[in-house]
Amino acid sequence: MNKNIILIILFITLLGSGASWVINKANLSHKIPVIGDVPEFSFMNQNGDPFTNKNFENKITVLDFIFTTCPGPCPTMTYNMTNLYHDFDAVTEVQFVSITVDPETDNIDVLKEYAEVNGVNDERWSFLYSDINSIKELKRDGFMLYSDELPRGHAIKFILIDQNGSIRKYFDGTDEASIAILRKDITSLVKTIRS
């Protein structure tokens, strides 16, 4: 056999192996780690219905902590969450949860109005209310986020939770690049439910 032909076959084989290695590496690097589990809790949503950690079962959830009168990052976070809410409007396995960190101001009526103003027209986005101590405990002990000096000292994180109620990843809720990665990770987790 001609040396050139052997070299070409060898080169193609190595190229194919390299491409296969890159694809496998990309798939491995996209695995989303499990950070911990959402603890038991029982709050109320904007309709006055109970919402507990059981509501995370069989759903991919994006959760954040906000307050309706926030002069800082909350409007940007809510805007980004609204975009995600609309992006996944045909995907029943995805839900969104926003927990107020100012229950003194954000009672159920205020949260219901806030939901309506932001175009929430179904059960896929819940705005949760509870007493401040329960909110602080869930934020600090459940989601491992700073919970002192609320409402002012709330985090700007979007938290990705899988269908088993496991915390998978944190994202900057004000950053477009971070939201783009979150979109891909939501899609990836939805595929695991559907497969």
Q: What is the mean pLDDT of residues 164-179?
A: 95
The pLDDT, as a whole number, for residue 4 is 55
The pLDDT, as a whole number, for residue 150 is 62
Concatenating the DSSP letter of every residue in 19-44 gives HHHHHHHHHHHTPPPP-EEPPP-EEE
Concatenating the DSSP letter of every residue in 131-192 gives -HHHHHHIIIIIT----SSTTTT---EEEEE-TTSEEEEEEETT-HHHHHHHHHHHHHHHHH
CA angle (181, 114, 54) in 5-degree steps:
60
159, burial (CB in 10 Å: exposed 0-12, middle 13-18, buried 19+): buried
The SS3 call for residue 61 is: strand
Query: Tell me: the pLDDT tens digits for 59-85?
Result: 999 999 999 998 888 899 999 999 999
Does the pLDDT at position 168 exceed 60? Answer: yes
The pLDDT, as a whole number, for residue 195 is 82
Q: How far lies 72's CA from each of 59, 66, 174, 177, in Å?
A: 30, 10, 11, 20
The pLDDT, as a whole number, for residue 31 is 82
pTM: 0.82
Does the pLDDT at position 22 exceed 70? Answer: no
Does the pLDDT at position 8 exceed 80? Answer: no
Are 165 and 9 in contact, with CB atoms under 8 Å apart? no
The pLDDT, as a whole number, for residue 151 is 58
Q: How many CB atoms lie within 10 A of CB 148?
A: 9
Does the pLDDT at position 181 exceed 50? Answer: yes
Question: What does the DSSP 8-state code read for residue 110?
Answer: H
Q: What is the mean pLDDT of residues 17-44?
A: 65
Does the pLDDT at position 5 exceed 60? Answer: no
What is the pLDDT of the chain when averaged over all its residues? Answer: 85
The pLDDT, as a whole number, for residue 30 is 55
Query: Tell me: the pLDDT tens digits for 97-152?
Result: 999 999 999 999 999 999 999 999 899 999 999 999 999 899 888 887 766 666 56
